[in-house]
Amino acid sequence: VTIACPHCHFARSLPLEKVPRSIASATCPECNRSFMPQPQVTITCPHCHFSQELPLDKLPTKAVNATCPECRKQFPLPMRTSAP
pTM: 0.62
Q: Encode the chain (84 residues) as per-residue pLDDT tens digits.
A: 888 999 999 999 888 777 776 777 889 999 999 998 888 888 999 999 999 988 888 888 888 999 999 999 999 988 876 543
List C-alpha distances in Å: 71 to 50, 64, 74, 79. 8, 18, 9, 22
Enumerate the domain spans of the chain.
2-76
Helices and strands per DSSP (H, E), number in the chain: 0, 8
